[in-house]
Amino acid sequence: MKKQTLLLFPILLIAIFLYGFKKFVIDEQKTHLATNLDIRVEQKVDSVLALMHLNEKIGQLVQYSGKWNATGPSSSNGDQHKLNKLKNGEVGSMLNITSVESTRETQKIVMENSRLKIPLIFGYDVIHGYKTIFPIPLGESASWDLDIIKKTASIAAKEAAASGIQWTFAPMIDVSRDARWGRIMEGAGEDTYLNAVIGVARVQGFQGDDLSKSNTIAACAKHFAGYGFAEAGRDYNTVNIGEYELHNAILPPFKAAAEAGVATFMNSFNEIDGIPSTGNKMLQRDILKGDWGWNGFVVSDWGSIGELIAHGYAKDKKQAAEIALNAGSDMDMESYAYEAHLETLLKEKKISLAQLDDAVKRILRLKFNLGLFDDPYKYCDEAREKNNVYTKEHLAIARDAAKKSIVLLKNETKLLPFSKNLKSIAVIGPLADDKDAPLGNWRAKGEYNSSMSLLEGVKSAVGNNTKIYYEKGGDLTMPTIKPGDNQFLYPLRFNTTDVSGIPAAVEAAKKGEVVLLAIGEDAFQTGEGRSQTNIGFFGVQQQLLEAVYKVNKNVVIVLMNGRPMDISWAANNVPTILECWFLGSESGNAMADVLFGDYNPSGKLPVSFPHNVGQEPLYYNQKNTGRPYSPSHVTYSGYTDAPKTALYPFGFGLSYTTFEYKNLKLDKNTISKTEEIKLSVEVSNTGTRDGEEVVQLYIRDLVGSLTRPVKELKGFQKTMIKAGETKTIYFAVNADMLQFYTINKKWEVELGDFNVWVGGDSNAPLKASFSVTE
Ligand code: BGC
């Protein structure tokens, strides 16, 4: 194949030249991540750039979505335009082309027709698995287990890479604090630090230590920036935050991803304080590429360059292209603005050749690092596509990740774990035998109805002596999504009033020794464009819950959902609640592992659960205000009709055992800015089962040049503690934990007093204090 490719090169000189590249790349085993420039790669990038005509340079900045059949583009006009551009070498990347056959065919168009034969890079939204589906990112974040998170990202990369893909548009590291926002399901929730460490784990999982390996893919930190702070939780909405909040709350996960060598960034649809991110020079050029010295490329979000017009920030596409390129948006995803206008803009000196070249170089750099110049078809391997995808091993990892993501919210009567010798179990609810919802939104190539339902998981966990009574009880009423359907075209129809299934469910509940009630959300109630003002139970679920609970108190609510929900009635009335998110391919098995005690739940909430939607946005790391809320002043910075605090706070989650924290000690109480404190705490497992605990460390800077949050997560350790055992856990409290973006517009530690808390959730009661002095 390589020989053939060489023979097809029209210009001999170029052929020899590119052959030289290939040898170079083969000699050089290690691929270097974007932050570490490799001089040999840079030389190759410069040599290619020197050969490129203007149309080819602009072409590298163009990304199209494929609407292709297996053997190439279909014949509509749009596709003909794309086909011609591919042939001319005027496309840098394609998204949404998935399969070895399709990527090979598309790559071939470029390799066999274009002058310079610069390979395409194929991108796809591989968000929580490719075909083996792992828990939705918010759910998986509840594991607080960086090893399993890294592992699932690496499996997703392996499967995607085996199908011809080299680039995922993940991880989403938008700090998100509003349950109404549908995309809260895609990230790690409300905390800045947790988003940073989980984001880095995902980047490392996708990219591995060598991008040129055929089982790793380039990652994309998105959405830069502030997308999760959309006003009122409405997707794409305006973001109004100040410069300091931007630096302290939103940017740290992005900086961490850049430092971890993430290959690409995607900008965001929203504006911040009047400037849409796609046109935000301060964010993309000054901070990301300037201050942070990051060398990857920024892809626009879908059509976001064109959307500068709707924002009222550009009068037409030409001006939009000018603004976006000058602001540092390197690749145009589906706006058709760069291909149409960059040449004229260059002639008119509205953009510079240096900036255009810089964008091209960033894209070529990644193509070299991925090994695409060495072999443009290296990701196209039918055998790997057949054997490396959706394997038993991958499903076992999916089960492991899923059980670790489950959060036990309530177990007041110690109903859980169940014995496997129960005489009967009633399995009830619209989600109880749903084999599709657990795949969640953004399920890539996860096949319709391919997950293990709760009912199936329970059946396979118990013996023949346990009788199972299943009743659906009612509908969630989302229309069925079939493979290939465009979920955006579906009307939102949730509220069924059909209660005809409830009597049968009540009868089943009466017969069951215990009841599993699977309620929550449909998979597509969260995700892009899925904002809601009601975060409670849709349809007849609340009626079903109350009717079932009336006849059998041994009910376990098995929640499946993509956002924090208003479950206040359930929390006030039903003693047992298990938060199961959308757990992916192995959902039912993982739930059974926890329900029957084969796995002791260890998940902790990455987002606060409110008493009601009116509390949103709700997050623990808020500011104190001048009139702080307290039990004696509930109206201060609070509400007259609802608590101010969360129903279930950030970091919360129970276990089948109990943990006790004591003896919080600091080895010193005064340090200089550069010294560190050794903190220790004893954590005892006071129950009768072994269990894992997430030991969390929170810090407050009491007085600052800017007001500081009432507490912030600064570290955690997930550790197994045997029944009866006491472990001493150590943290080093250092400048990294104490610094913030101060009034001086710098990250620095300020002198003064600090509080530190350690515990099993964000209400951690054990507290100590220390000071930073000259
Ligand atoms: C989303 C991105 C996604 C892109 C490509 C956009 O609508 O905001 O997160 O990566 O589409 O599918």
Residues 629-650 as b/e (b if ≥16 CB within 10 A, e otherwise) read beeeeeeebbeeeeebbbbbbb
Pocket test for ligand 1, best of 67, 96, 124, 302 (most atoms within 8 A of CB): 302
Q: Provide the residue type at 170 as one letter.
A: A
3-state secondary structure of 717: strand
C-alpha of residue 731 to centroid of ligand 1, in Å? 38
- Distance between CA 68 and CA 501 in Å, rounded? 43
pLDDT at 11: 45
3-state secondary structure of 57: helix
In terms of Cα–Cα distance, which of 711, 678, 675 is closest to 696?
Answer: 711
CB of 307 sitting under 6 A from ligand 1: no
Q: Which atom of ligand 1 is nearest to the CA of 220?
A: 10
Q: What angle do CA 156, 162, 168 make, to 5 degrees?
A: 45
CB of 374 sitting under 6 A from ligand 1: no
Nearest Cα residue to atom 4 of ligand 1: 302
C-alpha of residue 186 to centroid of ligand 1, in Å? 11
3-state secondary structure of 584: coil
β 275-276/271-272 pair status:
antiparallel
C-alpha of residue 500 to centroid of ligand 1, in Å? 40
C-alpha of residue 129 to centroid of ligand 1, in Å? 16
pLDDT at 428: 98
Beta strands in 96-219 (DSSP E): 121-124, 167-168
CB of 302 sitting under 6 A from ligand 1: yes
**CB distance 751 to 773 below 8 Å:** yes
CB of 186 sitting under 6 A from ligand 1: no
Binning the chain into helix, strand and coil, the percentages to the nearest 5 are: 35, 20, 45
Q: Which atom of ligand 1 is nearest to the CA of 169?
A: 10
Residues 520-549 as b/e (b if ≥16 CB within 10 A, e otherwise) read bbbbbbbbbebbbeebebbbbbeebbebbb
CA distances to 163, 206, 219, 407, 424 from 263, rounded to whole Å, are 20, 10, 6, 33, 53
Q: Which atom of ligand 1 is nearest to the CA of 223?
A: 9
CB of 169 sitting under 6 A from ligand 1: yes
CB of 528 sitting under 6 A from ligand 1: yes
In terms of Cα–Cα distance, which of 397, 388, 465 is closest to 425?
Answer: 465
3-state DSSP of 389-419: CCCHHHHHHHHHHHHHHCEEEEECCCCCCCC
Domains along the sequence of the chain with CATH: 3-384 (3.20.20.300), 397-615 (3.40.50.1700), 659-772 (2.60.40.10)
CA distances to 12, 348, 441, 524 from 428, rounded to whole Å, are 70, 67, 23, 21
Q: Give the chain's largest Cα–Cα span.
A: 83
In terms of Cα–Cα distance, which of 444, 445, 438, 447 is closest to 399?
Answer: 438
**CB distance 541 to 452 below 8 Å:** no
C-alpha of residue 306 to centroid of ligand 1, in Å? 14
CA distances to 7, 179, 342, 723 from 727, rounded to whole Å, are 66, 36, 62, 11
Neighbours of 13 (CB within 10 A): 9
- Residues lower than pLDDT 70 in the chain: 1-36, 67-78, 477-495
**CB distance 177 to 618 below 8 Å:** yes
Neighbours of 389 (CB within 10 A): 18
Nearest Cα residue to atom 11 of ligand 1: 302
pLDDT at 1: 38
pLDDT at 632: 86
Tell me which of 125, 145, 301, 436 is the catalytic residue.
Answer: 301
- Distance between CA 68 and CA 403 in Å, rounded? 37
Torsional class of 617: left (φ above 0), alpha (ψ -120 to 50), beta (otherwise): beta
- Distance between CA 746 and CA 88 in Å, rounded? 47
CB of 301 sitting under 6 A from ligand 1: yes
Beta strands in 509-648 (DSSP E): 514-520, 555-560, 576-579
pLDDT digits (tens, 9 = 90+) for 667-720: 999 999 999 999 999 999 999 999 999 999 999 999 999 999 999 999 999 999
CB of 125 sitting under 6 A from ligand 1: yes
C-alpha of residue 338 to centroid of ligand 1, in Å? 19
C-alpha of residue 369 to centroid of ligand 1, in Å? 24
Residue 108 burial class via C-beta count within 10 angstroms: exposed 0-12, middle 13-18, buried 19 and up = middle
Residue with tokens 């856990």: 729
Torsional class of 303: left (φ above 0), alpha (ψ -120 to 50), beta (otherwise): left
- Distance between CA 257 and CA 187 in Å, rounded? 14
pLDDT at 73: 52
Nearest Cα residue to atom 10 of ligand 1: 169
Nearest Cα residue to atom 8 of ligand 1: 301
Residue 301 annotated as catalytic: yes
C-alpha of residue 302 to centroid of ligand 1, in Å? 6
CB of 222 sitting under 6 A from ligand 1: yes
